[in-house]
Amino acid sequence: MLERLNQAMEYIEEHLDGTVEVAELARIATTSEYHFRRLFSALAGMPLSEYLRRRRLTLAGAEVLSGERTLLDVAVRYGYTSGEAFARAFRAMHGVGPGEARRGGAVLVSQPRMSFRLVIEGSSSMQYRIVEKPAFRVVGRRARVPLVHVGVNPAIASFIRGLGRETVDRIAALSDQEPDGVVSVTEFFSDSREEGVELDYYHAVVAGAEVEVPEDLDVREVPAGTWAVFSNTGTFPQALQEMWRDVYTQWFPSNPYESRPGPDILRTRFPVEAGQAEAEIWVPVARAGR
């Protein structure tokens, strides 16, 4: 998988002054476009679109300083339809406009070319199982919240506090299958996994079609499919967030599965020991290449 990802990175470099087709990147990596975008974001620490923008502006910066092409020619070569649009993007990355950079020999920002390699640190173990799950429903309360990579998400914490004990107990009573009890369900509606991007969050349970749902609760229908279930125990929320990272940077590159569209489900339980949590993550997956 990593070899194919690096072949896709070669394709990007060869097409920075043209069109980079995500479908072709996915074909080279022998995966779906959906999984390629998610995997790239996890490995690179930025969305694919942001990496392409920064690489193009890095090359454009070098050409601006060289003076061999007009500024408009440089803009058009790297995909900008006008000098004004190019100047705005150039200034946003480099801190100066292209004309000023050419006149004054400014110091510019560079986005290095990326390649991927797998590093296994061995600092924590990650257990997983594969589950074929029939269709089910996510039943509970939904909120739109920003993504937070490190630490407790204050928007989610505030939302849960606002539900009240009576509502949470009513939701919990509807659980009739695994993952059992109240769970956290997240679903993204963009390719970006940047800090602050909005997502749907459900404080909910997993329930079958026969469960009667009160009218004041939100429902997300989830079709049948395959799920990879990961579990660990450790300091909350650090161990959980590290497990999310390891799923995409270690497990996916070394296993014959890819992510597929659908919600991610988190089941967290807190044992007696303070600050510790037992976490279980359900990620929708499919066999790679199918």
Through-space distance between the first and last CA atoms of the chain, rounded to whole angstroms: 15
205 strand-pairing partners: 139
Asked if 140 and 218 count as a contact pair (C-beta separation under 8 A), the reply is yes
Which pLDDT belongs to residue 121? 54
Instruction: Flag whether pLDDT at 274 surpasses 80.
Output: no
Average pLDDT value over all residues in the chain:
89
Tens of pLDDT along 23-39? 999 999 999 999 999 88
Instruction: Flag whether pLDDT at 125 surpasses 70.
Output: no
Q: Class of 2-104 per CATH? A: mainly alpha
Instruction: Flag whether pLDDT at 271 surpasses 90.
Output: no
| Of the ranges 13-27, 38-52, 140-154, the best mean pLDDT one | 13-27
CA–CA separation, 233 and 178 (whole Å): 18
Instruction: Flag whether pLDDT at 43 surpasses 60.
Output: yes
For residues 62-88, give the mean pLDDT.
94
Which pLDDT belongs to residue 46? 86
Q: How confident is the model at residue 195 (pLDDT cuts 50, 70, 90)?
A: low
For residues 224-245, give the mean pLDDT.
87
For residues 57-70, give the mean pLDDT.
93
Tens of pLDDT along 172-186? 999 999 999 999 999
242 alpha-carbon distance from chain centroid:
14
CA–CA separation, 3 and 79 (whole Å): 28
Taking only Cα atoms into account, the Rg of the chain, rounded to an integer number of angstroms, comes to 23
For residues 230-258, give the mean pLDDT.
84
Q: How confident is the model at residue 253 (pLDDT cuts 50, 70, 90)?
A: confident
The answer for residues whose C-beta is within 8 angstroms of residue 144's C-beta and 6 or more apart is 198, 199, 200, 201
Query: Which DSSP string do the residues of 230-262 spell out, in sequence order?
Result: EEEEEETTHHHHHHHHHIIIIIGGGSSEEE-SS
Residue listed under structure tokens 């390699």: 117
Query: Which DSSP string do the residues of 188-209 spell out, in sequence order?
Result: ESSS---TT-EEEEEEEEEE-T
Selecting from 3.40.720.10, 3.20.80.10, 3.90.110.10, 3.60.150.10, what CATH number does the domain 127-287 have?
A: 3.20.80.10
Residue 246, token pair as written in the block: 């390891």
Q: Per residue in 97-108, is it b (16+ CB within 10 Å) or e — as a string?
A: bbeebbeeebeb
In whole angstroms, how far apart are CA 277 and each of 6, 47, 149, 238?
A: 36, 30, 18, 10
For residues 211-220, give the mean pLDDT.
95
Lowest-pLDDT range of 74-78, 218-222, 276-280:
276-280
Q: Per residue in 36-60, is it b (16+ CB within 10 Å) or e — as a string?
A: bbbbbbbbeebbbbbbbbbbbbbbb
Share of the chain above pLDDT 90, in %: 65
Half-sphere exposure of 192 (CA within 13 A, CB side): 12
Tens of pLDDT along 130-173? 999 999 999 999 999 988 777 778 999 999 999 999 999 999 99
Tens of pLDDT along 77-113? 999 999 999 999 999 999 999 999 998 768 899 999 9
220 strand-pairing partners: 138
Give the domain ranges of the chain: 2-104, 127-287
Q: How confident is the model at residue 189 (pLDDT cuts 50, 70, 90)?
A: low
Instruction: Flag whether pLDDT at 290 surpasses 60.
Output: no
For residues 264-269, give the mean pLDDT.
92
Which pTM was predicted?
A: 0.76
